[in-house]
Amino acid sequence: MCRWLAYSGSPILLESILYKPQHSLIDQSLHARLGPHTTNGDGFGVGWYGEGDEPALYKCVDPVWNDRNLKELSRQIRSRLMFAHIRASTGTPVQQTNCHPFRHGKWLWMHNGQIAGFAGVKRELVMAVDPALYGSIEGSSDTEVFFYLALTFGLAENPPAAVQRAVGFIERTCRAQGIEHPMRMSVAASDGESLWAFRYSSEGVPPSLFYSTDVQALREQHPEIEVFRTLSDESRMVVSEPLGELAGVWNEVPPSSWGRIREGQDQVGPFIPAAH
Amino acid sequence: MCRWLAYSGSPILLESILYKPQHSLIDQSLHARLGPHTTNGDGFGVGWYGEGDEPALYKCVDPVWNDRNLKELSRQIRSRLMFAHIRASTGTPVQQTNCHPFRHGKWLWMHNGQIAGFAGVKRELVMAVDPALYGSIEGSSDTEVFFYLALTFGLAENPPAAVQRAVGFIERTCRAQGIEHPMRMSVAASDGESLWAFRYSSEGVPPSLFYSTDVQALREQHPEIEVFRTLSDESRMVVSEPLGELAGVWNEVPPSSWGRIREGQDQVGPFIPAAH
Amino acid sequence: MCRWLAYSGSPILLESILYKPQHSLIDQSLHARLGPHTTNGDGFGVGWYGEGDEPALYKCVDPVWNDRNLKELSRQIRSRLMFAHIRASTGTPVQQTNCHPFRHGKWLWMHNGQIAGFAGVKRELVMAVDPALYGSIEGSSDTEVFFYLALTFGLAENPPAAVQRAVGFIERTCRAQGIEHPMRMSVAASDGESLWAFRYSSEGVPPSLFYSTDVQALREQHPEIEVFRTLSDESRMVVSEPLGELAGVWNEVPPSSWGRIREGQDQVGPFIPAAH
Amino acid sequence: MCRWLAYSGSPILLESILYKPQHSLIDQSLHARLGPHTTNGDGFGVGWYGEGDEPALYKCVDPVWNDRNLKELSRQIRSRLMFAHIRASTGTPVQQTNCHPFRHGKWLWMHNGQIAGFAGVKRELVMAVDPALYGSIEGSSDTEVFFYLALTFGLAENPPAAVQRAVGFIERTCRAQGIEHPMRMSVAASDGESLWAFRYSSEGVPPSLFYSTDVQALREQHPEIEVFRTLSDESRMVVSEPLGELAGVWNEVPPSSWGRIREGQDQVGPFIPAAH
């Protein structure tokens, strides 16, 4: 069911967060611990903010553990805001246009979870996407449709409100078709300035999600990653599962909540799908 | 802009029609003569009727000229009805779900040409697809939407009528958006019994299309293909461009026409998009 | 460390042995039980004897669990002798030329295991391959070099003797370089007439290997596979791990042994690497 | 028969030299003008010096004209020394380990041309590679073997001497086997400090090769590439075929010559294969 990580802070090499940690995302592609799938080999993707205004993407359908190019690139890509995602498909084809992260303008978006019964509601959901945005949908995944609904409902103006509206709409649409518990999600989104995280489930425990709070603790936890010594106090990571042993470093993101990481004051709030 | 070939007749090895001819489809992938693209390297696909009721598919995103697997398979696949297509993308991504032929139940469908301005009309066209069929659309190509419109308009009952209705609908929708000459097409479709071919353009010369009529002439034209000596008189091929020198063997399919190849009497007729 | 299966008997669809069993090879690609790797996602291959004298191959670098083409092909390929292999690389690149089975003339060859310290002895081993065969080596895997050594030592004339000579040579070469326990192997080979299996390890327990002996029991064990009712008594499978629960159906191939399955009398014997 | 380009100078985005020119390498992948192949779709690769001492590589088996990832990366990779190559295979498989550029330590190497009759001399050539280097050979191409022979003969100490020795050895080995005119080559190599280019043929006209000499003229020739205004006078490109119309900008590298581009004084000299 996918694993992801997002980083915001001092510019560091992608390699530091993608390959070096003990239980890195690469390791999670074969030995994930906190999801229903130990193997996440149905493609991967990284997105990062570097040259220019729009984020760059590198997405492939191959298992990440074999990809030599990604290993090379991770030693060259230095960025202050990076997304990485490994996929375990929930039914839609394995193709580049179904890999995360998704991008629209300066926005990046990735997701772990699924919309239950998506095949039956897809047409309705897609039709609710702003016609001006419809043409930007390239693939066939639930995640991408979810992203375009969030954009339709004002992601660029107010991300928590937009995502809550999108989830509310999805839940209503699914329930009208007899799908009682439609939504499971941990989501990361960014416009290049802030890093937004969301954790919610229509019912039960949502997909796992953790954030790092203490850079000092990060340094102690990962002595093998020298670059952490150079990190600013603002540096943060949000991850599907901890990159190392739980030692007071990784904090669980509460269910039904959202968070915003940015320079200066971070924000948190409750995630409540909009009623209408 | 793609090249394709279709075969109907005695069961023969795919290799005979795909690799052995002088100007085979493999040769056309690098040196096509009658289309705007000499190179057709954006994926390929073959479909054939063999074991079971539904046709089988083998589709790849790689250029056909490099594919070792296809060469192997072509020496093993023996069938009485086969489709083969090499793609030059008109804009949509190169992915397996955008390769032809497309399949729905026992139907196969492939296309050379395009719907002009497709990005702007896609939403309307997709919304006209029968909701019960919508979920079967996997890719993002104009060809696939065209196929599902034809299915919506009754391809299974009356192929010429259904395709004429689909094209009529596409033309009207495009013209309402200021696209004056929307449709260019050569299409092959089959239900495993008949092989249907269509050739039409909203304006000007449609994509090239030829059929073979004389099996005797086929034998004389291609002495290097021994198996043609064993072909029944019913055996026919329909191709985007001739597989060898024009020696009275290849006959141009008239513009704005359709044809039906099957055991017994073949059929032809004018192709006139339906007014409504 | 790879999993494989081989079938010899009445012509059946590849699907019957590759997809239908409870713990099929496809299931083993994600949930293998008897090897060091639960995941075998570094490519796969199938080989089979059909049209013509030489066997056909279909090999891909992608994880087998995602491959739509293989699913399609398995419903069309009907053969009396088939090999299937899923790979977990022991270090050499994931590329089509490193996927099994390997082919030379009418011979097929696949392997689970490895030559320890291969990188250090590769040059010596390759130099011992018959210069007339050297040019046929396409990849960089230990399995392929092992195959060509077996061919060099007379695989076509006397397979058990040839493979024992090859392993003897490999062991001597490795031990001269300080590698004490070089060889772990379960191997399948065929010339289209007989199916040969080998199980050996320089030390300790060799990779798991089982054969099916009782077609009657196979029918009882796999009621979901109708085709087994049509199998001849000669039909046999050799597998890395059982395709279903151990119910007296799967028999362990003894360590340090070889077997030959063919029409008429099968053969077995001890596997003893040749001293020189 | 491949096309390549190499850049040395002020750090610029890869996109500037790879995508922006009128007759870019991307354009040459479909419409090359100066080689035997108009299409070069058998894989591609880029190498560049960035973070760390060793150059980074990005190599793929797909046609370059379709690769979205490369387009993204080219807008992010900024480097002072870059190699790019598009491949038309001369017989060896299309796989990542046969794509150029090749790397060994801090060396990059790429080639347009071939060793005639390579299959027959490969064993001898490979055996002449320093045994300590043998294990670094990953693929099966003539270019890679040529590279490792150059390394064996002292590429790191004296590139012109080493490459002349390698070519001399290759010519002698081939002629002993009756191959009269073995070598056709344009080669680029670099250690991160200097950019070396070589142009030679055993007989007749070697593969085309050009260098840019006048940065002022480059600016006038390519007004669409703004970044050229920021280039230092030292900036140079070496290309298989000009990236724009011949307007006194592109100078033919003389046959049988080598050149060295670096800060300060460049060097040129005659290329004469060593006699022994």
**Residue D89 C-alpha, separation from nearest chain B C-alpha, in angstroms:** 10
Residue A171 near residue A273, CB atoms below 8 Å:
yes
In sequence order, what are the beta bridge partners of A56? A48
Q: Identify the residue whose tokens are 């062991």.
A: C171
- Dihedral sign (CA A116, A122, A128, A131): positive
Please give the Cα distance from B109 to A155 (Å, whole number).
40
B62, B92, B97: best to mutate for the A interface, most A CBs within 10 A: B97
B/e letters for B98-137, b = 16+ CB within 10 Å, e = fewer, are bbbbbbbeebbbbbbbbbbbbeebbbbbbebbeeeebebb
pLDDT in tens, A70-99: 999 999 999 999 999 999 988 889 999 999
The confidence score (pLDDT) of residue C85 equals 97
Chains touching chain C at 3 or more Cβ pairs under 8 angstroms? A, B, D
- Pair type for strands D250-252 and D102-104: unpaired
Please give the Cα distance from C110 to C32 (Å, whole number).
18
Residue contact A58–D73, C-beta within 8 A: yes
What is the SS3 assignment for chain A?
CCEEEEEEEEEEEHHHHHCCCCCCHHHHHHHCCCCCCCCCCCCEEEEECCCCCCCEEEEECCCHHHCHHHHHHHCCCEEEEEEEEECCCCCCCCCHHHCCCEEECCEEEEEEEEECCHHHHHHHHHHCCCHHHHCCCCCCCHHHHHHHHHHHCCCCCCHHHHHHHHHHHHHHHHHHCCCCCCEEEEEEEECCCCEEEEEEECCCCCCCCEEECCHHHHHHHCCCCHHHHHCCCCCEEEECCCCCCCCCCEEECCCCEEEEECCCCCEEEECCCCCC
For A123, the closest of B119, B131, B138 (CB atoms) is B131
- Set of chain A residues whose Cβ sits within 8 Å of the Cβ of C66: 41-42, 89, 94
Among A21-30, A153-162, B31-40, C156-165, the minimum mean pLDDT is found in: B31-40
For residue C49, CA distances in Å to C14, C106, C234 come to: 11, 9, 17
A42, A57, A94, A95: best to mutate for the B interface, most B CBs within 10 A: A95
A218 Rama sector, left if φ>0, alpha if ψ -120 to 50, beta otherwise? alpha
For B123, the closest of A93, A95, A134 (CB atoms) is A134
In sequence order, what are the beta bridge partners of B8? B81, B236
Centroid of chain to Cα A187? 5
Which chain C residue is nearest to residue D124, measuring alpha carbons? C131
What burial class does residue B80 get, using C-beta atoms within 10 Å of its C-beta: 0-12 exposed, 13-18 middle, 19+ buried?
A: middle
pLDDT in tens, B245-264: 755 678 999 999 999 999 87
**Residue B254 C-alpha, separation from nearest chain C C-alpha, in angstroms:** 35
Please give the Cα distance from B20 to B13 (Å, whole number).
11
**Residue A193 C-alpha, separation from nearest chain B C-alpha, in angstroms:** 30
Please give the Cα distance from B242 to A96 (Å, whole number).
35
pLDDT in tens, C198-234: 999 999 999 999 998 778 777 887 787 777 788 888 8
Question: Count of domains in chain C?
Answer: 1
The confidence score (pLDDT) of residue D145 equals 98
Q: In chain D, which ranges are E strands?
A: 3-13, 44-48, 56-60, 78-86, 102-104, 107-115, 183-190, 195-201, 210-212, 236-239, 250-252, 257-261, 267-270
Q: Domain of A19?
A: 3-270
B183-190: strand order across its sheet: B102-104, B107-115, B183-190, B195-201, B257-261, B267-270
- Set of chain A residues whose Cβ sits within 8 Å of the Cβ of D48: 76
- What ipTM score was computed for the predicted complex, to two decimals? 0.92
For C93, the closest of D131, D134, D138 (CB atoms) is D138
B/e letters for C138-158, b = 16+ CB within 10 Å, e = fewer, are bbbbbbbbbbbbbbbbebeee
Considering the domain boundaries, does residue C152 fall inside one? yes
Q: Within 13 Å, how many C-alpha atoms sit on residue C14's CB side? A: 28
Residue C189 near residue C107, CB atoms below 8 Å:
yes
B78-86: strand order across its sheet: B56-60, B44-48, B78-86, B3-13, B236-239, B210-212, B250-252
Centroid of chain to Cα A70? 18
Considering the domain boundaries, does residue D198 fall inside one? yes
User: How many contacts does B have with D, using Cβ atoms within 8 A?
Assistant: 28
Please give the Cα distance from A38 to C38 (Å, whole number).
10
CATH number of the domain residue D87 falls in:
3.60.20.10
Is pTM beyond 0.90? Reply is: yes
D257-261: strand order across its sheet: D102-104, D107-115, D183-190, D195-201, D257-261, D267-270
**Residue A138 C-alpha, separation from nearest chain B C-alpha, in angstroms:** 7
Residue D149 tokens, joined? 């022979």
Question: Residue B259: helix, strand or coil by DSSP?
Answer: strand
Work out the average pLDDT over B171-187: 97
- Pair type for strands A257-261 and A267-270: antiparallel
The confidence score (pLDDT) of residue C226 equals 77
The confidence score (pLDDT) of residue C98 equals 96
Q: Identify the residue whose tokens are 């030829």.
A: B210
Considering the domain boundaries, does residue A275 fall inside one? no
Residue contact A73–D56, C-beta within 8 A: yes
Residue D97 tokens, joined? 């380990």
Residue contact B42–D66, C-beta within 8 A: yes
The confidence score (pLDDT) of residue C166 equals 98
pLDDT at residue B225 is higher than 70:
yes
What burial class does residue D272 get, using C-beta atoms within 10 Å of its C-beta: 0-12 exposed, 13-18 middle, 19+ buried?
A: middle
pLDDT in tens, C155-179: 999 999 999 999 999 999 999 999 9
- Specify the DSSP element, H or E, that contains B133: helix B131-134
- Set of chain A residues whose Cβ sits within 8 Å of the Cβ of C93: 68
Residue contact D62–B66, C-beta within 8 A: no
- Set of chain C residues whose Cβ sits within 8 Å of the Cβ of D131: 123
Residue contact B41–D41, C-beta within 8 A: yes
pLDDT at residue B241 is higher than 90:
yes
For B13, the closest of C48, C51, C96 (CB atoms) is C51
Task: Please list the pLDDT of chain C residue by residue as tens digits (276 residues).
Answer: 699 999 999 999 999 999 998 899 999 998 988 877 889 899 999 999 999 999 999 999 999 998 999 999 999 999 999 999 999 988 889 999 999 999 999 999 999 999 999 999 999 999 999 999 999 999 999 999 999 999 999 999 999 999 999 999 999 999 999 999 999 999 999 999 999 999 999 999 999 999 987 787 778 877 877 777 888 888 899 999 999 875 567 899 999 999 999 987 889 999 999 987
pLDDT in tens, A194-250: 999 999 999 999 999 999 877 877 788 778 777 778 888 888 999 999 998 755 678
Q: What is the mean pLDDT of chain B?
A: 93
- Dihedral sign (CA A220, A226, A232, A235): negative
Please give the Cα distance from A83 to A77 (Å, whole number).
12
Please give the Cα distance from A172 to A150 (Å, whole number).
15
Considering the domain boundaries, does residue D276 fall inside one? no
B/e letters for C178-200, b = 16+ CB within 10 Å, e = fewer, are ebeebbbbbbbbbbbebbbbbbb
- Set of chain B residues whose Cβ sits within 8 Å of the Cβ of D89: 66
Considering the domain boundaries, does residue D18 fall inside one? yes
User: How many contacts does A have with C, using Cβ atoms within 8 A?
Assistant: 27
Residue contact C30–A42, C-beta within 8 A: no
D61, D94, D97, D145: best to mutate for the C interface, most C CBs within 10 A: D97
User: How many contacts does B have with C, using Cβ atoms within 8 A?
Assistant: 46
D134, D141, D144, D173: best to mutate for the C interface, most C CBs within 10 A: D134
For B63, the closest of D38, D41, D93 (CB atoms) is D41
Chain C residues whose C-beta sits inside 8 Å of any chain B C-beta: 13, 48, 50-52, 56-60, 68-69, 72-73, 75-78, 96
B/e letters for C90-117, b = 16+ CB within 10 Å, e = fewer, are bebbbbbbbbbbbbbeebbbbbbbbbbb
For A39, the closest of C30, C61, C93 (CB atoms) is C30
Which candidate, D262, D276, D270, D240, places its Cα nearest to that of D83? D240
Residue C67 tokens, joined? 């491959």
Which candidate, A5, A6, A16, A56, places its Cα nearest to that of A231? A16
Which candidate, D1, D4, D15, places its Cα nearest to that of D210? D4
Residue C186 DSSP label = E
Residue B72 tokens, joined? 């192997």
Question: Residue B245: helix, strand or coil by DSSP?
Answer: coil
Residue contact B75–C56, C-beta within 8 A: yes
| Cβ neighbour number for residue C31 with a 10 Å cutoff | 13
The confidence score (pLDDT) of residue A156 equals 97
Residue contact D134–C127, C-beta within 8 A: no
The confidence score (pLDDT) of residue B207 equals 96
Please give the Cα distance from A189 to A198 (Å, whole number).
9
Considering the domain boundaries, does residue B203 fall inside one? yes
For C138, the closest of D93, D134, D135 (CB atoms) is D93
Helices (H) and strands (E) in chain D, counts: 8, 13
**B69 φ/ψ angles, rounded to the nearest 5 degrees:** -60, -45
Which chain D residue is nearest to residue A15, measuring alpha carbons? D51
| Cβ neighbour number for residue D61 with a 10 Å cutoff | 23
Work out the average pLDDT over B215-228: 76
**B161 φ/ψ angles, rounded to the nearest 5 degrees:** -60, -45
Considering the domain boundaries, does residue C275 fall inside one? no
- Set of chain D residues whose Cβ sits within 8 Å of the Cβ of C142: none
Chain A residues whose C-beta sits inside 8 Å of any chain D C-beta: 13, 48, 50-52, 56-60, 68-69, 72-73, 75-78, 96
The confidence score (pLDDT) of residue B248 equals 67
Chains touching chain A at 3 or more Cβ pairs under 8 angstroms? B, C, D
- Set of chain B residues whose Cβ sits within 8 Å of the Cβ of A131: 123
Please give the Cα distance from A9 to A80 (Å, whole number).
5
- Set of chain B residues whose Cβ sits within 8 Å of the Cβ of A138: 93, 140
Task: Please list the pLDDT of chain D residue by residue as tens digits (276 residues).
Answer: 699 999 999 999 999 999 998 899 999 998 988 877 889 999 999 999 999 999 999 999 999 998 999 999 999 999 999 999 999 988 889 999 999 999 999 999 999 999 999 999 999 999 999 999 999 999 999 999 999 999 999 999 999 999 999 999 999 999 999 999 999 999 999 999 999 999 999 999 999 999 987 787 778 877 877 777 888 888 999 999 999 875 567 899 999 999 999 987 889 999 999 987
B31, B68, B94: best to mutate for the D interface, most D CBs within 10 A: B94
